[in-house]
Amino acid sequence: MTARDKKTVSGFDDFLSHEEVGDHHFELVVGEIVEKLPTQLHAAIISMVNFFLMLYLQEHPIGYSLTEARYRASGDQDNDLIPDLSFVTTERGPLVRSGPAPYMPDLAVEAQSEGQSDKFMVDKAQVYLAHGTRMVWIIYSTRQIIEVLTPTERQLLTASDLLTGGDVLPGFSVAVKSLIPSETAHV
């Protein structure tokens, strides 16, 4: 996509209003319209993360775990993002009923899909962090690693490590190997 093809959120809203979009899911990432095309493996990984997050939230009702929710930070004209999974605190107020939330989530979880480069994943994480997200988990299933990014830190976790929630999800922890099916390393 060339610079002149870049969209703003108003152009993206116009794009989404077209009949042809149908049930397809698109997001605007740094001015580029990107279709989300998850696979079964992708869905299984996000389901596992959501399972452990929901167990945590039953014991610690501090917010909501949301799949495929839209976010558009106030004043950001280049991004309308749909993390695979997100967490927002109850302090944000009631859940948005229509359109994107006018802020970024406290935690964004992204599982790398086929065709998404490592650079794309990290660049997208940086967009979240630049607009108020406190933590991003990027799951690289084929390498059995999770990258954890905060505004001040970047850490790679392997299958033998524990993924924790830091100050976003105090007391949350789960083994990385519990989130990524081991056979994915060869898929």
**One digit per residue, pLDDT tens: the chain, 187 residues?**
334 578 777 667 666 666 666 666 676 677 677 776 777 888 899 999 999 999 999 999 999 999 999 999 888 888 788 999 999 999 988 899 988 999 999 999 999 988 889 999 999 999 999 999 999 999 998 899 999 999 999 999 999 999 999 999 999 999 999 998 766 544 4
pLDDT reported for residue 170: 97
E strand spans, 31-134 = 32-35, 63-67, 85-89, 107-111
Cα radius of gyration rounded to whole Å, the chain: 16
pLDDT reported for residue 85: 97
pLDDT reported for residue 3: 43
Q: Which domains does the chain have, with CATH numbers?
A: 37-186 (3.90.1570.10)
Q: Are 140 and 132 in contact (CB under 8 A)?
A: no
pLDDT reported for residue 14: 62
Cα angle 173, 106, 62 (rounded to 5 degrees) comes to: 65
153: CB partners within 8 A, 6+ apart? none
What is each CA distance from 105 to 64, 83, 154, 156, in whole angstroms? 10, 9, 18, 21
pLDDT reported for residue 165: 97
The pTM score is 0.84
